[in-house]
Structure 1
Amino acid sequence: MRRCHGLSIPWVRQARRKPLPQQIHRMRSFAGTSTSMPSSVMILDMDGVLYKNAAVEGRIVQRLEEETRRLGLAPSACQRLYEDYGATMRGLITEGHLSTNAIDGFYCKVYDPVDVSALQPDPLLRMQLNQLKKGGVEFWLATNSPQHFVARVLEALELADDFQVVCPSQSNGWLNKPDPRYFDQLPMGRFFDDSPQHCNAWNDLRSDTPAYHVARETDVMTLVADALEVVPQSWRLQKAPYLQAKELDDLKSLNQDVLRRLRQELAAFKGEEIRVLDLGCGFLSMLPLLLEQLVPAGARLHYLGVDRDEELLTAAQARLEKMAAPELQVELQCADAVSAVKTAAPQTLVMGCSILDLIDVKALALALRQSQAGALLYFPIHYAGTTSFKGPLAAMAEPLSSRYNESLETRGQVRNVTALYSFLGEELASGPSDWHLRGDNLLLKQLISFMATNALGFQPLQTLREAVKALRCPLEPNQLLPSVQLHVTNVDYLGRVPKTGAVPGATSGAKTKAAARTRLAVQFTAPGIAETVRETMPLPAAGEVLVVTTMSGISAGTERRMLLTGCEEGEPLDSSLKDLQGSGWPLRYGYCLVGTVEIGSPSLPLGSRVFCFHPHASHAVVSEDSLQIIPDDIPDEDAIFFANMETACALCQDAAPVLGERLGVFGAGVVGALTAALLSRFEVTVFDLNDRRLQPLRRFGVATAAKLGASGASGASGFDVALELSGAGEALGQAIRSTRRGGKVVVGSLYGKEEVSLALGLSFHRSELTLLTSQVSFVRAALSTRWSKERRAELSWQMLRQLRPKEWMDLRKVSVREAPEVYQRLAQGAAKDDPAQWIFSYDSYD
């Protein structure tokens, strides 16, 4: 049971152990059934293969070690059992450390505390699986994780319906890989696992279908493509050979005008030390260029190469030992690009070949302004959006390239980095650096292999096989025809980091230009009408910061009322928030905004993730003391619920139920759902006319009802506390009628000028009910001696960490440019298929 601030939350295990799709229980015998099997069967491991996340996998290992020690075994027992048996759990069971009745409980203790919120869906993987299944390929999941953890992982990855699953369970005697009896549950097929022991065990049993070992850096679908013989396996290069092949074509393609300008900039450092930070240095492909063409004679070069891949850094070190350069000082560091920029000493030049389209450029820009003000920037060979076959084979090869950009975008790769230059700083020079690849080129083979793997998500398998076959030499199938031609558009960028505090997109030091920046905002211009407007961006004054918005959430019920009626009461929208003081048209609203600090302060550095109470806009200028810094372990999609969670916490404190009391929650919108989840330790019934809103709440063990039934009648079956959170006057009446004598009705809704008809006759007066209005702007007077806004905010973050609403709340993310359509839909009234939470994204508002 997980506890926090005195609230026990007993629903966690029940919620996480919901059953997998029905096919998990289908353990079939495949003897003599080969004629009915699909053309290909792919059997994938889960942890480290289907998903690769060091935090999640590390937490599993940590919990396994902790629970093994609680059994009285030595700290080294986990590793010993793994080495002896191929799986720690198999060793614990085999050696008798766990009785049969204790196995399920042990699995729960290990896996239930593991947070899977860091796992993100992979749209391309989902499309690849679906497209291949249409072509007769069957996918199985063979894992040593227990059933309830598999269900959570597949749900997080949005792959719950894509696999037949075999895992340890009571029904199969808790079998684990590499037990031969475990493999007997699986059909004949290709086996993919990250454990060499499991692969060896498979090969010993089924040598006719060899196992594929999935290395840490390998996308399992590339190995699936090999197994399906889409492209020759020899075309796919290992990391170091790939970078060597790429280096040859990169150096031929570099834009000479950009190089010439960079030489001119570096010439000013003749006789001095030039410090270079190379991001994603890989096999040191840019170091020879620096030594031979860029660093002026007499200058000393201090080179810091950074890469996340330790294997590549080892290869780089071996290459470095063969270089003879007396004026060269080299450091190699294993780190990600943004972290390296933040921690490095001031540099003369920050560079990176083919890296901008693979990282968060906005985060990089913030780190550069924070730590590398005034440094030169050189980022060559970045994808500019076009990959196409040329020549006589172009039409036959077209299936490989037609959806290539779409496949890149599904995984977050930027298709055209030129749109991001303004974030980096002052542009000094840029120009094309296209690849023109032809014939039996190693880089060309690698690219075709990569394109074919991605295209598995869009094209029939046989279509791709035929397209690749058309490019191969008939007599030497591992070779490409001389007439194969591929053109890839790239671009080189040279710039300079603006001085600290400068605004991206403005020339370094030009404050007058900074004032000309614009932002996109949403406003209600008249009843029922919303629009997006572009306006001059305000600059922060003393005590204020500029926040670049990542996403903002709509408070659907309240914003619908504001959209239709404005603030007819004549009161400020929120007396405690500066940006919600207006009360007339045009009207701006919204108070759930998440972003990063672009112009900060000494106590709030650049790049800080923050929550703002601010209307919907691409940029927000807010007072520093009004911000909430988002904890590192809470993703943006959960942070967007901070204001709603703070309201839910306030409602729970106002409700103040006594242990054993029955509660009714009227309305299962965002606030109602969060409130019901927080109160689920009590006997709670949630009412909402839309059953779609109620379904996610059943994971918390609460009762749900689409309308008020007999159980809501007053008397012995009534509620001790009722919370009205729907915004409907009729629901308030139902809440009053269903609350027993002496009970409490907490009114958390705003009704505006709507006429609310309540039966306040003799029965009401005899009921001795307390009607309590609840609001979140201030801490209630009765609590104020113990609770502050800061303490309640801390509680709200803790509850977000516990509940993780993004895992079960119905979310729909749309571009902020679609705001008019979204508000038009809201103005027409709630529809059954509307999400619980609309979210505006601001990734490409320009």
Structure 2
Amino acid sequence: MTTQQQNEATAYWTVAPGRGELRTEALPVPGPEEALVRSLYSGISKGTEIVVHQAAVPPCVAEQMRAPHQEGSFPSPVKFGYLSVGMVEQGPAGWVGQTVFCLHPHQDRYVVPVSSLTRVPDGVPPRRAVLTGTVETAVNALWEAGPRLGDRVAVIGAGLVGGMVATLLRTFPLGRLQLVDVDPARKDLADALGVDFAHPDNALPDCDIVFHCSASEGGLERCLKLVGDEGEIIEMSWYADRKITIPLGEDFHARRLSIRASQVGAVARARRHRRTAADRLELAVSLLEDPVFEAFLTGASAFAELPRVVQDLADGRLEALCHVIVYPAAGASPAQSHQTPTTETAR
């Protein structure tokens, strides 16, 4: 590597609605409490990143939606992303050589404060560790909802976030847990997780808690049918600039139902005074020692292919739960540079 290459990094930028590209930029010299990280893997958080790709972030929440190490502003040009795993090449004693997770955009090398890094435990493969940020979202939702012994729970939407919530809940002493989705193929994911699967028409009602993760109007309406009297719906979907209509007439008030938002930007109120965001991340990455989470990694592509992969995801040509981006430092072979998942892996 030349001196010039050592002082440069390559990052993915959304440069216009529906268009992204890789850009070279200057790499700063790490300060006393900073680390230089060389990326191994990053994950595409499809729901949010496709909203960014399509320039659909509402202006009224543009500041709240900023990722921790984002550069630029919505709608574009913007460097966005938050599922990065790498190895520390330079930094304070005790950090060099450590595998770390960081809420950083897709970039091959970057410099951040060590306070932004979460150590990946030895029992967690680096590739699987890209899921840390999504597990963190699920942890926050469970802190928000506070499920109790014997509760009847449904999770509507068997995508990445809904699947994560169901995965964590499967270890709770619940009375009942169902993962609900309109796509019958999602039963394969539910089976891999060891969770009961149901089509919305067959899902069991009278739930104590319903987690909504389908990002659809129909899914939220089904929540109102499945939750029991005085029960609670935890809304985890983000609709960006879409308008959603739900029937808050009928028996919504008579049954005293509640819809409560859960958003990972702040630690859930029930734990906010006793847990920090760093505590939450450390818990999330430790949970990834369970190999069941491999079910969410549904394909991989080389970093050089990232602009095309994002477009394929946006156009629906590529199906994925979490598509992994592989950087040269991970040692991917050329044959692995662009894999379109099979039907099985895409689920």
Q: Which TM bucket (shorter chain)?
A: 0.7 to 0.9
Q: Which residue of 1 aligns with 2:117?
A: 627
CA deviations over 1:627-648 (Å, ceiling 9, x no partner) = 1011112111221111111111
CA contact (8 A) 1:711 1:718 kept: no
1:821 maps to 2:314: no
1:535 shift after superposition:
2.6
Decide which of 742, 749, 758 is 2:246's aligned counterpart: 758
Q: Which residue of 2 aligns with 1:601?
A: 92
- Cα distance in structure 2, aligned partners of 1:580 and 1:518: 16
Q: Which residue of 1 aligns with 2:296?
A: 809
- Cα distance in structure 1, aligned partners of 2:315 and 2:322: 17
CA contact (8 A) 2:17 2:75 kept: no
Q: Which residue of 2 aligns with 1:563?
A: 53
- Cα distance in structure 2, aligned partners of 1:737 and 1:587: 40
- Cα distance in structure 2, aligned partners of 1:525 and 1:581: 10
1:789 maps to 2:280: no
- Cα distance in structure 2, aligned partners of 1:537 and 1:709: 53
Q: Which residue of 1 aligns with 2:211?
A: 723
Q: Which residue of 1 aligns with 2:41?
A: 551
- Cα distance in structure 1, aligned partners of 2:8 and 2:34: 18
1:672 maps to 2:150: no
Q: How does 1:416-815 map to 2 (within 5 A)?
A: 422=1, 505-506=2-3, 517-570=7-60, 571-572=62-63, 574=65, 577-579=68-70, 582-604=73-95, 606-680=96-170, 681=172, 682=174, 683-705=176-198, 707-712=199-204, 717-806=205-294, 808-815=295-302
* TM-aligned CA distance change 1:769 to 1:665, over 3 Å: same
**Secondary structure at the counterpart of residue 771 of structure 1:** strand
CA contact (8 A) 1:573 1:581 kept: no
* TM-aligned CA distance change 1:558 to 1:694, over 3 Å: farther
Amino acid at match of 1:763: D
* TM-aligned CA distance change 1:581 to 1:760, over 3 Å: farther
Q: Which residue of 2 aligns with 1:457?
A: none
- Cα distance in structure 1, aligned partners of 2:268 and 2:105: 25
1:841 maps to 2:329: no
- Cα distance in structure 1, aligned partners of 2:57 and 2:106: 17
- Cα distance in structure 1, aligned partners of 2:75 and 2:188: 38
- Cα distance in structure 1, aligned partners of 2:141 and 2:39: 29
1:803 shift after superposition:
4.8
1:804 shift after superposition:
4.3
- Cα distance in structure 2, aligned partners of 1:693 and 1:710: 15
CA contact (8 A) 1:744 1:771 kept: yes
* TM-aligned CA distance change 1:573 to 1:803, over 3 Å: farther
The structure in which a higher percent of residues are helix is 1
CA contact (8 A) 1:574 1:581 kept: no
Q: How does 1:265-276 map to 2 (within 5 A)?
A: none
CA contact (8 A) 2:154 2:178 kept: yes
Gaps of 5+ in 1: 1-421, 423-504, 507-512
Gaps of 5+ in 2: 333-347
- Cα distance in structure 2, aligned partners of 1:693 and 1:817: 30
Q: Which residue of 1 aligns with 2:343?
A: none
- Cα distance in structure 1, aligned partners of 2:135 and 2:215: 17
**Secondary structure at the counterpart of residue 88 of structure 2:** strand
* TM-aligned CA distance change 1:535 to 1:711, over 3 Å: closer
**Secondary structure at the counterpart of residue 121 of structure 2:** coil
* TM-aligned CA distance change 1:791 to 1:534, over 3 Å: closer
Q: Which has the larger radius of gyration?
A: 1
Q: Taking CA–CA contacts closer than 8 Å with sequence separation of 6 or more, which of the two structures ends up with the larger relative contact order?
A: 2
CA contact (8 A) 1:610 1:627 kept: yes
Amino acid at match of 1:828: D
Q: How does 1:93-132 map to 2 (within 5 A)?
A: none
- Cα distance in structure 2, aligned partners of 1:551 and 1:612: 11
CA contact (8 A) 2:33 2:91 kept: no
1:750 shift after superposition:
1.0
Amino acid at match of 2:282: E
1:710 shift after superposition:
4.4
- Cα distance in structure 2, aligned partners of 1:777 and 1:711: 31
- Cα distance in structure 2, aligned partners of 1:836 and 1:700: 14
1:546 shift after superposition:
1.3
- Cα distance in structure 2, aligned partners of 1:554 and 1:693: 20
- Cα distance in structure 2, aligned partners of 1:793 and 1:548: 20
- Cα distance in structure 1, aligned partners of 2:56 and 2:89: 32
Q: How does 1:405-420 map to 2 (within 5 A)?
A: none
- Cα distance in structure 1, aligned partners of 2:39 and 2:143: 31
1:836 shift after superposition:
1.6
- Cα distance in structure 1, aligned partners of 2:65 and 2:242: 20
**Secondary structure at the counterpart of residue 765 of structure 1:** coil
* TM-aligned CA distance change 1:631 to 1:704, over 3 Å: same
1:797 shift after superposition:
2.6
Amino acid at match of 1:701: G
CA contact (8 A) 2:39 2:86 kept: yes
1:721 shift after superposition:
0.7
1:601 shift after superposition:
1.6
1:542 shift after superposition:
4.2
**Secondary structure at the counterpart of residue 767 of structure 1:** coil
1:729 shift after superposition:
2.6
1:764 shift after superposition:
0.9
CA deviations over 1:401-439 (Å, ceiling 9, x no partner) = xxxxxxxxxxxxxxxxxxxxx3xxxxxxxxxxxxxxxxx
* TM-aligned CA distance change 1:828 to 1:520, over 3 Å: same
Q: Structure 1 vs Structure 2: percent identity of aligned residues?
A: 28
Q: Which residue of 1 aligns with 2:345?
A: none
- Cα distance in structure 1, aligned partners of 2:184 and 2:84: 28
CA deviations over 1:638-693 (Å, ceiling 9, x no partner) = 21111111111111122212222211111122221111011114321112233343
**Secondary structure at the counterpart of residue 763 of structure 1:** coil
**Secondary structure at the counterpart of residue 781 of structure 1:** coil
CA deviations over 1:14-53 (Å, ceiling 9, x no partner) = xxxxxxxxxxxxxxxxxxxxxxxxxxxxxxxxxxxxxxxx
Amino acid at match of 1:775: Q
CA deviations over 1:688-724 (Å, ceiling 9, x no partner) = 233343313224432213x411445xxxx33211111
- Cα distance in structure 1, aligned partners of 2:141 and 2:270: 14
CA deviations over 1:132-179 (Å, ceiling 9, x no partner) = xxxxxxxxxxxxxxxxxxxxxxxxxxxxxxxxxxxxxxxxxxxxxxxx
**Secondary structure at the counterpart of residue 652 of structure 1:** helix
CA contact (8 A) 1:529 1:563 kept: yes
CA deviations over 1:453-477 (Å, ceiling 9, x no partner) = xxxxxxxxxxxxxxxxxxxxxxxxx
